[in-house]
Structure 1
Amino acid sequence: MMTTSTTSGTTRISGMTRLRTTTFAVAGGLAVGNLYWAQPLIQEIARSLDVSAAAAASLVTVTQIGYALGIFLIVPLGDVLNRRKMIPLMLGLSAIALISAAVSPTFSLLLAALGGVGLTTVSAQLLTPLASELAAPEQRGRVLGTIASGALIGVLLSRTISGAVAEFIGWRAIYVLAAVLAVTLAVVLSFIIPRLEKRPATNYFRLLGSVFTTVAQHRAAAPTVLISAIVFSVFSLFWTSLTYLLAGPTFSFTVGQIGLFGLAGLAGALAARRAGSFHDRGLSVPVSGVALGILAVSLLGAWLAQSSVVALVVVVIALDLAAQATLVLGQTRLLSLPGQNRSRLNTAFIVSNFLGGAIGSALAGPLWTAGGWTTITLTGLAMVAGALLVWLFTRRALTDQI
């Protein structure tokens, strides 16, 4: 339902229509997908720029670190600035960084450009708390589940699309395409995002510091952030390492074939699209525990399935379903907490996730060298066991809505 009101001469339109929800999901998918264009292209970029595969893998890590910095330094401003102007601006800056990546002649310049992509591609994490504000309480879980699924679908499809594009016209073309899409979405969102009430100005450094105090104010926040960070670290470790497995002697897949595995992950993400509705029914915490259990079983299956394409596809679907459900429910719990500091709560959530993701990506190369796929899956299992212990001992705190 849509409502309008007037405050100090500013018309405010509230409500998350299907069109607005879908547009936010698509924009979020593109923004987050920008972080992962390079993931299936590691070997291709390494050959093109004459660096080792291990060095090329650092492209994903640097992009994630840039993203974490962007989330921490920029997203809290969503609680005080005009997001109707801010979000299209960030998409425009992201387009500039993407073009810089496309024309980078050396590995060091590409590394810097992708750091810039990570720093500026934060629009998804400005849109999510905005959607939480606009959505009615009884639809918040479903709306946030759809938008979060759009982000994960972007992550997964980015691998498939970048692999296919690189196969036919080279790896640089994907960054040009992403820049064009970013500019297009900037224009669309400038019309789709409604006018919002002005909020009081806040000192920037005090605003950044309040990210930590905001988390401390809510009992459910810290364990939710920790569990989600561990899950995203496992997710990133798995997908980065899967490239090594599929490109290795057992399968010898091309970048295009590796990218197609993103379609299997897409099936899992689509299956988890309505995970947020469990929050609306009061089942967020128990379903999170079930999802963590499925994630552990998926990693065990990944170890057993290391020589079977069909079995790996099944594992990818289950793993992405479990990871997506855990992340959606965690984010929905945070953004359903009372107050007007949702952008700061979302900042804590996403920064922790992508620092976890950067750790997972960084571990992939050394762990693969040390013991291959077995070491990768055992490490992932140990991390999920840690998340399950946190969930077990903080279940009561996770249900708090204060």
Structure 2
Amino acid sequence: MPGERSRRLSKGLILFMATACGMTVANLYYNQPLLADIGRTFDVTAKQVGIISMLTQIGYAAGLFLFVPLGDMREKRQLLCTLLIAVAASLAGVATAQNLLWISVASLLVGITTVIPQMMIPLAAQLAPPAERGKVIGTVMSGLLIGILLARTVSGIVGGTWGWRTMFGIAAGMMIILAVIVRNFLPKSFPQSQLNYKELVLSIGKLIREQRTLREASMIAAMLFGSFSVFWTTLVFYIEGEPYRYGSEIAGLFGLIGVAGALAAPLSGRLSDRFDGKTIIGFAIVIALLSFVCFGLFGNHLWGLILGVFLLDLGVQGGQIANQSRIYSLVPEARSRLNTVYMVSTFLFGSIGSALGSLAWSLWGWNGVCAVGGSMTVIALLIWGWHRIGERRLRSTSNSIGK
């Protein structure tokens, strides 16, 4: 019932869900400003230590596929509490790592178990009135996006002051506290599907085949987030050298710049409720592309880096919100599975972006990083354009048949 949805999804609950998403997704990004410090601890190269960020995102993609479909068939609150305890144990494993293999395995497990936000967001979409779904998703997503960005700031400061192990120890403690709060504050949710787990997983393939919008949104998101990871994985290595000579603390502070872009997420959600989301996505891709132009031409100036970070986060986040608003309206009883397809694609290419960024930095330096990241946004723009042409052809064919 719409009234029941409104009553259960109060402003306080929306704020809590946004905060919980931000706190949990941050686990995936604490390592990025600390990669250089971790590399020095284990005496490995930038290319070798880059695998930590890559494995974290691969783990996240795997966790999305394994656990998020359960949101359509299980009570979400208990599932979330279990995952929060598991991610706390994984973070403790990172904090106590004694070699590169140990921290790589622990980082993979952190990714696998940090899928809480992708159960929270479909839950918010389920509870929201249809006319406000974009706005609610945008608000919850703003918490997630701010968590992504502030994770780098917090970890840079904590890691630079007390060491990188302290950051992961603190994160483990926060997940235990959050599990207690979720258990007592989040309402119970009831499954919307009668399928068993095997049927749920098999139905994902059917959704991919039947939902053209889902395929398009997932491919665009994959390219955008891949470019996002290319930049953030390599930024710390770039600013450690000439002309900046900054440490991990400053690398983390760049996350604050992106918060301005994250604060625009609710606006993107509102625009998606009122206007054509496909047009908004096109603008978002162009903004992300301009960020890499800025990095390439003006990245040796601090103002150029700052402007580029703002544009990148604004473009990627705006596209993310508009895409999710579109896919959640496709098959309401399968929102968790739709989100699985979308987010597995996103973070799989996020991990590829991390690997490509580290490789480009090792082979070609900053210009290579800008070229790789910019190329991924160009691919996103081509996908968007190709689907717009396809839609116009379908409309033209339909009109011809109608006549």
TM-score category (smaller protein): over 0.9
1:71 aligns with 2:54: no
Query: Which residue pairs with 1:216 in the alignment?
Result: 209
The correspondence of residues 147-162 of structure 1 with structure 2, limited to 5 A, is 147-162=140-155
After the TM superposition, which residues 260-279 of structure 1 pair with which residues of structure 2 at under 5 Å, given as runs? 260-279=253-272
2:72, 2:193 within 8 Å by CA — same for their partners in 1? no
Residues 69, 119 of structure 1: 8 Å contact kept: yes
Give the SS at the match of 2:119.
helix
Cα distance in 1 between the residues matched to 2:44 and 2:363: 20
In structure 2, the partner of 1:312 is 305
- Say which is worse superposed, 218-227 or 201-210, in terms of deviation: 201-210
Q: Secondary structure at the match of 1:274?
A: helix
Summarize deviations over 1:118-163 as a string: whole Å, max 9, x none: 1101110011111100000111101101111211111111111001
Name the structure with the higher helix share.
2
Q: Does 1:281 align with 2:277?
A: no
Unaligned runs of 5+ in 1: 5-11
Matching residue within 354, 357, 361 for 2:350: 357
Within the candidate set 16, 21, 32, 1:23 is matched to 16
- Residue of structure 2 in register with 1:228 after alignment: 221
Aligned partner of 1:100 in structure 2 is 93
Separation in 2, partners of 1:352, 1:64: 11
Q: Which secondary structure does the structure 2 equivalent of 1:34 belong to?
A: helix
1:259 alignment partner AA: G
C-alpha separation in 1, matches of 2:2 and 2:177: 26
2:328 is matched with which residue? 335
Question: Structure 1 residue aligned with 2:163, among 137, 161, 170?
Answer: 170
User: 1:4-31: per-residue Cα shift (whole Å, max 9, x none)?
Assistant: 4xxxxxxx99642111111111111122
Once the two structures are TM-superposed, the CA of residue 395 in structure 1 deviates from its matched residue by 3.0
| 2:264–2:318 Cα contact (<8 Å) kept | no
Structure 2 counterpart SS, 1:273:
helix
**8 Å Cα contact 2:230/2:372 also seen in 1:** no
Distance 1:154 1:398, change over 3 A: farther
Unaligned stretches of 5+ in structure 2? 395-403
The yes-or-no answer on 1:297 pairing with 2:254 is no
Alignment of 1:18-57 (within 5 A): 18-57=11-50
The 10-residue stretch of structure 1 (381-390 or 171-180) with the greater mean CA deviation from structure 2? 381-390
Instruction: Report how far residue 242 of structure 1 moved.
Output: 1.6
Paired letter, 2:35: I
Normalising to structure 1: TM-score of the pair? 0.93
Q: C-alpha offsets along residues 315-371 of structure 1, whole Å, 9 cap, x if unaligned?
A: 111111011000111111111223300000000011000001001000012111222
Q: 1:159-196: per-residue Cα shift (whole Å, max 9, x none)?
A: 11001001111101111111111112112122332233
- Letter of the 1:348 partner, please give it: V
Secondary structure in 2 matching 1:227: helix
The RMSD of aligned alpha carbons is 2.0
Q: Aligned partners of 2:273, 2:390: CA distance in 1, in Å?
A: 18
Within 2, Cα distance between the matches of 1:333 and 1:20?
23
Once the two structures are TM-superposed, the CA of residue 50 in structure 1 deviates from its matched residue by 2.0
Deviation at 1:200, TM superposition (A): 5.4
Of 345, 362, 370, the match for 1:369 = 362
Letter in 1 for 2:118: Q
Worse overlay, 125-134 or 259-268: 259-268
Q: Secondary structure at the match of 2:267?
A: coil
Measured against aligned partners, the alpha-carbon deviations of 1:53-104 in whole angstroms (never above 9, x if no partner) come to: 2211110001111111000011001000110211111111111111111112
Partners of 2:35 and 2:50 within 8 A in 1: yes
Deviations 1:274-330 (A, max 9, x none): 211111103311111111111111110111112111221111111110110001111
Q: What do residues 237-259 of structure 1 show as CA deviations (whole Å, max 9, x unaligned)? A: 01112222111222111111111
Q: Which of 243, 247, 259 pairs up with 2:240?
A: 247
1:216 deviates by 2.2
One-letter amino acid matched to 1:40: P
- Report the more deviating stretch, 13-22 or 221-230: 13-22
- Contact 1:33 1:158 (C-alpha < 8 Å) held by counterparts: yes
- Amino acid of the structure 1 residue aligned with 2:128: A
Q: Identify which of 242, 245, 249 aligns with 1:256.
A: 249
Residues 74 and 190 of structure 2 are in contact (CA less than 8 Å); yes or no, is this contact kept in structure 1? no
Asked if structure 2 preserves the Cα contact closer than 8 Å seen for 1:223 and 1:398, the reply is no
- After superposition, the Cα gap between the structure-2 partners of 1:97 and 1:24, relative to the gap in structure 1 and judged at 3 Å, is same
- Aligned partners of 1:272 and 1:71: how far apart in 2? 22
Does structure 1 retain, via aligned residues, the 8 Å contact 2:356–2:372?
Answer: no
Contact 2:193 2:333 in 1 (8 A): no
Displacement of 1:206 in angstroms is 2.4
Name the stretch that deviates more: 379-388 or 162-171: 379-388
**How far apart in 2 are the matches of 1:198 and 1:297?**
43
- TM-score, with length taken from structure 2: 0.93
Deviates more, 1:182-191 or 1:300-309: 182-191
